[in-house]
């Protein structure tokens, strides 16, 4: 999947999910417009943290090491960037998902 050809404007944001706190997301999603390729939910840092972390899957190790490539966002904003994540947002903490290539579906990553 390629990057979206548009940037979300404030007037484009719709209430797609109930208020669920904040998350962290890569600039490749929020600025470059790539869809979410990998997401996981970890233990919340505080009461307002949803625990969700979103990546395009195209980030290199060097990219990820630079904290300036990630920002905190309202979870609803990321749902507007890529609505395909919405069915997975109620997953429990410790869950990881990877997009099934060429689809709008994700599969859970299970460590054995």
pTM beyond 0.75: yes
| Bridge partners of residue 38, in order along the sequence | 55, 98
53 membership: H or E segment, kind and range: strand 49-55
pLDDT digits (tens, 9 = 90+) for 42-75: 999 999 999 999 999 999 999 999 999 999 999 9
Q: What DSSP state is assigned to residue 89?
A: T
């Amino acid at each position: 999947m390629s990057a979206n050809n548009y940037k979300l404007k404030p007037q484009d944001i719709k209430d797609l999910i109930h208020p669920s706190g904040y998350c962290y997301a890569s600039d490749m999603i929020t600025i470059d417009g790539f869809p979410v390729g990998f997401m996981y939910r970890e233990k919340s840092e505080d009461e307002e943290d949803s625990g969700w972390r979103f990546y395009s899957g195209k980030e290199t190790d060097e990219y990820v090491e630079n904290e300036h490539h990630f920002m905190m966002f309202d979870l609803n904003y990321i749902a507007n960037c890529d609505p395909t994540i919405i069915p997975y947002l109620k997953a429990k903490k410790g869950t990881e998902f990877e997009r099934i290539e060429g689809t709008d579906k994700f599969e859970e990553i299970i460590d054995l």
